[in-house]
């Protein structure tokens, strides 16, 4: 018996095989279907997807045999991979000197008499194994059967490529998730650690103004005002970042509740210092909602806050609308504010994206609020969009998925 020659590209070949992370994995229907087709098309009892490791050949898919692997030195496929571009057909292995005294050929349960294998290659031409068919008697494939076997082998190679791509994407996704978790933790630590010094700055500013009021001129008082205003703005910015990175916790940790929409909206409106020049209209139909109340509250708070801040009209008008279908609650929050340019409407939900130069009071936004809103809506199984006409109105439309199985009294 001749021991199979080690291919000249053995190192690259094995690297390609190991990249697939496929050895000793459970059977998969995609491979088994192709192997079964090979058996039927070639009219033989045995068909295999054989992968050649350093010391073993292992069968990813098998039809007509109970073997899971064999020693590489006994493998006919280990001979086949030395000619990656050719089909290796052996009508009768018992007449081939290379396989004399090979124990696989004498297996009483199913001796390997006929063999035909097509090397399975990676994109660089390295053969990692074969698609092979076996018969227990002398045989020979027709031209059409060989062409079909090659076509099936090509489909298996495509499965290998997809597997490698999926493994790469999973690795990228895992890395991104780890980086995002680190960023969330960093944001939380930094935000909490900066809150206290900022509070101290704000309090100290008030103390300086009160204690040294008679010694400060108007310019000095103005500088203290700038310092306090900047401290408040930075504090708000930090709070927004913290809220953004805690949205997953907000939607994961709070249970579903049932409540009536209009009473819910009244409670939210009470949190704002609404002036007489603001008109807020609730939905005509007061429907009962069952969802994550805390998350929905954060969404509405952000949208109302924007409607109040980014409005240049003498009278602010905010309209709420809501309806439900079998799977979702659908909400619309509309206002008669500054509006958003059409070219900027797609960017409005991007983190740190600001679409207006300043709000009603001349302050510039931080571009975090609407990104947080979108994240919350997505976590609640919904979608969000915006339509707007500059100088006239803005309409935010979003949905929240129903989950009646978690409905509580």
Residues 355-378: pLDDT tens digits?
A: 665 666 556 655 677 888 888 899
Q: Which of 188-202, 254-268, 313-327 has the highest mean pLDDT?
A: 313-327
Range with lowest mean pLDDT among 204-208, 373-377, 378-382: 204-208
Yes or no: say if 236 and 366 are a contact pair by the CB < 8 Å rule.
Answer: yes
- What average pLDDT does range 279-308 have in this prediction? 89
Residue 144 has pLDDT above 90, yes or no: yes
Q: What is the pLDDT of residue 222?
A: 82
User: What does the pLDDT read at residue 408?
Assistant: 35
Alpha-carbon span 373 to 398, nearest angstrom: 10
Q: What is the pLDDT of residue 253?
A: 60
**Per-residue CA distances from 22 to 154, 364, 371 (Å):** 17, 54, 40
Q: Can you give the pLDDT at residue 78?
A: 95
First and final C-alpha spacing in the chain: 78
- The stretch 304-323 carries a mean pLDDT of 90
What average pLDDT does range 250-258 have in this prediction? 72
In this predicted structure, the answer to whether residue 43 has a pLDDT above a threshold of 60 is yes
DSSP letter assigned to residue 285: S
Whether 293 shows a pLDDT value over 80: the answer reads yes
Lowest mean pLDDT among 81-95, 172-186, 325-339: 172-186
CATH class of 246-406: alpha beta
Q: Which of 336, 333, 371 has the alpha carbon at shortest distance from 352?
A: 371
Which of 22-31, 194-203, 226-235, 304-313: highest mean pLDDT? Answer: 22-31
Residue 336 and residue 327 in contact, taking contact as beta carbons nearer than 8 Å: no
Query: What pLDDT sits at residue 406?
Result: 44
Residues 10-169: name the CATH superfamily: GAF domain (3.30.450.40)
Give 199-203's long-range contacts (Cβ < 8 A, gap of 24+). 199/235, 201/227, 201/228, 201/231, 202/228, 202/231, 202/232, 202/235
**The predicted structure's pLDDT at residue 292:** 87
If pLDDT is split at 50, 70 and 90, which confidence band does 404 have? very low
pLDDT for position 272: 81
CA dist 326 and 54 (Å) reads 57
pLDDT of residue 333: 94
* Delimiting residues of CATH 3.30.450.40 domain(s) in the chain: 10-169
Cα–Cα distance for residue pair 340/335, rounded to 1 Å? 12
């Amino acid at each position: 018996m001749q021991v199979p020659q080690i291919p000249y590209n053995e190192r690259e070949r094995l690297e390609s095989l190991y990249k697939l992370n496929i050895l000793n994995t459970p059977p998969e229907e995609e491979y088994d279907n192709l192997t079964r087709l090979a058996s039927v098309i070639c009219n033989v009892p045995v068909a295999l997807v054989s992968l050649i490791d350093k010391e073993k050949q292992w069968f990813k898919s098998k039809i007509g045999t109970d073997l899971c692997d064999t020693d590489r030195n006994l493998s006919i496929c280990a001979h086949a991979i030395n000619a990656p571009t050719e089909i290796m057909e052996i009508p009768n292995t018992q007449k081939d000197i290379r396989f004399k005294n090979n124990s696989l050929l004498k297996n009483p349960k199913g001796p390997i008499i006929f063999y035909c294998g097509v090397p399975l290659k990676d994109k660089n031409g390295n053969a990692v194994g074969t698609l092979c068919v076996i018969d227990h008697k002398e045989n020979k494939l027709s031209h059409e059967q060989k062409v079909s076997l090659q076509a099936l082998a090509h489909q298996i190679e495509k499965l290998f490529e997809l597997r490698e791509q999926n493994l790469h994407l999973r690795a990228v996704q895992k890395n991104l998730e780890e980086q995002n978790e680190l960023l969330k933790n960093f944001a939380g630590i930094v935000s909490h650690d900066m809150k206290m010094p900022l509070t101290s700055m704000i309090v100290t500013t008030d103390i300086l103004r009160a204690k040294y009021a008679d010694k400060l001129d108007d310019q000095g008082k103005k500088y203290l005002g700038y310092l306090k205003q900047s401290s408040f703005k930075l504090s708000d910015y930090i709070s927004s970042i913290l809220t953004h990175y805690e949205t997953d916790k907000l939607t994961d940790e709070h249970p579903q509740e049932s409540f009536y929409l209009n009473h819910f909206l009244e409670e939210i409106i009470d949190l704002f210092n609404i002036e007489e020049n603001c008109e807020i209209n609730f939905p005509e139909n007061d429907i009962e909602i069952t969802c994550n109340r805390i998350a929905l509250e954060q969404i509405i708070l952000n949208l109302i806050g924007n409607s109040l801040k980014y409005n240049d009209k003498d009278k602010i008008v905010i309209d709420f609308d809501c309806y439900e279908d079998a799977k979702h609650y659908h909400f619309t929050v509309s206002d008669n504010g500054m509006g958003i340019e059409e070219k900027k409407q797609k960017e409005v939900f991007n983190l740190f994206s600001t679409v207006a130069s300043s709000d009603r009071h001349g302050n510039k936004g931080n571009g975090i609020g609407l990104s947080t809103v979108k994240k919350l809506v997505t976590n609640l199984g919904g979608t969000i969009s915006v339509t707007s006409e500059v100088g006239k109105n803005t309409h935010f439309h979003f949905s929240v998925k129903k989950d009646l199985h978690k409905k509580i009294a």
